[in-house]
Amino acid sequence: MRPSVLNPLFASASGIKGIGQKLDKVLAQFLRGDATASTRVVDLLFHLPSGVVDRRFRPKIVDLPKEGIVTIEVKVGRHKPPPPFNKRLPYRVEVSDQTGSLTLVFFHAFAEHLQRSLPEGETRFISGEISWYGEEPQIAHPDHILTAEDFSRMPLIEPVYPLTAGLSPKILGRAIRSAVERLPDLSEWQDAAWKKKHGWPDFSVALKALHSPQVSEAPSITSATRLRLAYDELLANQLALSLVRGHMKRAAGRSFVGDGALQAKIIDALPYKLTGGQTFANAEIRADMASPSRMLRLLQGDVGSGKTVVALLALATAVECGAQGTFMVPTEILARQHLTSLAPLCTAAGISIAVLTGREKGKQREDILDRLAMGRIDILIGTHALFQEGVEFKNLGLVVIDEQHRFGVHQRLALQAKAGRATDLLVMTATPIPRTLALTVYGDMDVSKLTEKPAGRLPIDTRVLPLERMDEVVAGLGRSIKAGQRAYWVCPLVEESELVDLAAAEDRFKHLEQTFPGRVGLIHGRLRGPAKDAVMANFKSGALDILVSTTVIEVGVDVPEASIMVIENAERFGLAQLHQLRGRVGRGSAKSTCLLLYQEPLGPTAKARLTIMRETEDGFRIAEEDLRLRGAGEMLGTQQAGLPLFRIADLAAHGDLLAAARDDAALILARDAELKSARGEALRTLLYLFERDEAVKLLSAG
């Protein structure tokens, strides 16, 4: 049960004056991302200002400046409505003080409303931006028109909030002020010494201060008030993850102590030696699997660092113990590619392996499901088709999920539930994640990192060129193809429309096909499975020299013979995606090149991105820069199920607080595992306040 002290905050905001049904929907979409929900008081409270307007400057009309915000006390004079036949002219109202006069200007005005708010002969306080029409001062659409009584209540330093269509700053400001009045005093959940050391105010004091600024500068993201609230949100996140982790660890696990025989056969069959990182990660995973607790491990590896082999060795350990394993990937192309690359190693070790995607139908599918249920398939590779009903394992021991951030937490749990008993879980990502983001998304997991590339991999020569030099690029491509090289050509990313993406790819395909007839293939998300396979097979075999593609090749596609990557309109891509695409080349023995073609003029963020790509191939440095340039939500995509998007904390600015919050959460649960002390009760309130209710339920579940 949510503590009753929080009930006023989780009440509907429709009880606040000015928020009717229509505005409630606008606010719910804006603040909660869901127009079908209802806006709550807490949603308004956590919508923080992005700046301030200082209305303290109160000159006489004779002393008005050339520009800026002014607040003046005036007597209302004559109204001058536009002629009835010309509504395009503005409605004007003359106002004056003892030093001069000024005109208030209103376009598309309601005359009755203006006559009510500006009655002739009465005194009003006007606040807005001054402008000049020749020698005449005027204020167009003043921000405030107030009586003396209303003016006495108006904050002279006014917060400015981010807005959306259909939402006026005046109404939003008034609603937030009403929400602040409902803020209760809450018991302190922070450690007293920690709070004192940083000079942080109480929670309610901090939140009120941000909504009622007392200085004319915009609120700083590193001010004591903002840091206090950011730490609260990060602590709620880390405490919830720690509770989830503890709960999952307590669930009965299984000990998989393999004899290493199958692992040894796989390692012997590899055409190269394992890197030090692969050997170390494998040892960590084996130790996890041998323990009676469940394994919850994240394997983070840069592009081409050899995560797939480490995953196969983990699956072999499960098979050594008589269990089955499954390897889940985000795309059908990747599932089939893994089957192709892993099947020879599995054959050498005597392990049976199969693939199950949406493409397997009829008798073929039935045969796979029968063999799986009987335990005659040791390792099953698949896409989200693995979640479907009817997919039953005889004895599932290990779940491996590749590109974890593309799957929601609920999908991860659904797959594990198929085991009947708690399975071990290994998730992998080739998208290097900054430490701060890894802590917030994967805080419930141990982390292994692969930072080395296999021996013999050469650095990739990355060049940045304007699109005007397209003819030179195509000519250079011709020379490279004559020398036996193969190339990817990735077309612009148009987020709004898959069809526009496709049109761009088809246009580029036609253009290149004219220059290199019969040597160019096209692949995109709408191509049916068998057709996609055929194009990939022709590119891999050398029957095609150039593969034109949308971003479907971003993850996992492996053609070692391809040594050129051209990315058109590279300024439209995020850093992590550019890095992923570049990682499709540089996998063979030939020197590889990546050409980033951009459309001029370049904005500062796009320029910074392309500069970083030219400077480094270190995926972890690229990820840190990506977080700095784009922020967390955009980096992993705001639609990822299970991704905690923060309302107050900013991971790029508050990353150092995250590690402290993690340590704090661990210490709290070590001392008070069920949160029953006075501070523990306050922390339960914190979890409810930041909507980490699921974690509180685990406390009573034991």
- What pLDDT score was predicted for residue 639? 35
- Give the pTM: 0.66
Place 91 in a pLDDT band, splitting at 50, 70 and 90: very high
CA dist 175 to 10, 14, 16, 47, Å? 15, 10, 6, 11
Segment 508-556, tens digit of pLDDT: 999 999 999 999 999 887 777 788 888 888 998 889 999 998 766 654 5
Task: Output the furthest CA–CA distance in the chain (Å, rounded).
Answer: 99
Residue 291's identity, in one-letter code, is S
589-625, pLDDT tens digit by residue? 788 999 999 988 888 888 988 999 999 888 778 877 8
Work out the percent of the chain whose per-residue pLDDT is above 70.
88
Name the percent of the chain in helix, strand, coil, to the closest 5: 45, 20, 35
Q: Which residues contact 15 (CB under 8 A, 6 or more apart)?
A: none
- Nearest alpha-carbon partner for 210 in 232, 236, 234: 232
CA distance 559 to 590: 12
pLDDT at 411: 53
**SS3 call for 516:** coil
| Residue 314 DSSP SS3 | helix
Q: Helices 332-349 & 529-541, crossing angle to 10 degrees?
A: 60
Domains of the chain (ranges; CATH) run: 4-52+176-212 (no CATH), 53-157 (2.40.50.140), 261-450 (3.40.50.300), 460-636 (3.40.50.300)
**Cα–Cα distance between 463 and 306 in angstroms, integer?**
26
Kindly state the helix (H) or strand (E) to which residue 80 belongs, with its residue range.
strand 69-80
| Sign of the torsion formed by the C-alpha atoms of 115, 118, 119 and 121 | negative
Give dist(CA 430, CA 624) in Å, integer.
14
Instruction: Write the CB contacts of 461 (distance below 8 Å, at least 6 apart in sequence).
Output: 591, 592, 593, 594
**Across 433-437, average pLDDT:** 65
φ, ψ (nearest 5 deg) of residue 692: -110, 45
pLDDT one-digit tens code per residue, 622-639: 877 877 776 554 444 433
Q: Given CA atoms 568, 570, 574, 580 in this order, what sign does their dihedral have?
A: positive
